[in-house]
Amino acid sequence: MAILFTVVNAGGFYMTDFKRDVLEEYALEQIEYLKEQGAEYFNQLLHDGEIHHEIFNTDYYIIYHGDAVEWMGSHAWECIARVQEWENENFGEVTTDLGSPADIVNMYAYIVGDEIIQELNLQPMEEEVEE
């Protein structure tokens, strides 16, 4: 039996902007890295809708338990609530191990990262023409 938590702050809204700036900076750094791999590679990821997947789902954002606990700080419950709400909406159930701080942070980063990538409205790179 899964125990589900719903946490809202005093104003009644989820803390959806927690560490958004940190995750946006991370996303922008990773986008620059992907662009450095070449226009053809970047444009294919963009065309296939795989930029978010490449940045937030091919490697862990945070690996270690202690780092995840520190990253969430006093906002752990808000992170859990955001993950819970998103997974219930998208999967019909919570699949993330809510007892694992690293799993919570990685899923939270995945969720917020998707919003960030969509808002960036990325455009294809100009491909270099060989002479």
3-state secondary structure of 68: helix
Rg (CA), the chain: 17
Backbone φ, ψ for residue 37 (5° rounding): -75, -10
What is each CA distance from 86 to 16, 93, 125, in whole angstroms? 11, 9, 32
Residue 50: per-residue pLDDT = 97
Which residue in this structure is represented by tokens 């202690």? 66
- Give the pLDDT confidence of 38-73 residue by residue, as tens digits: 999 999 999 999 999 999 999 999 999 999 999 999
The pLDDT value recorded for residue 17 is: 82
Q: What is the dihedral of CA 117, 120, 124, 126, to 10 degrees?
A: -130
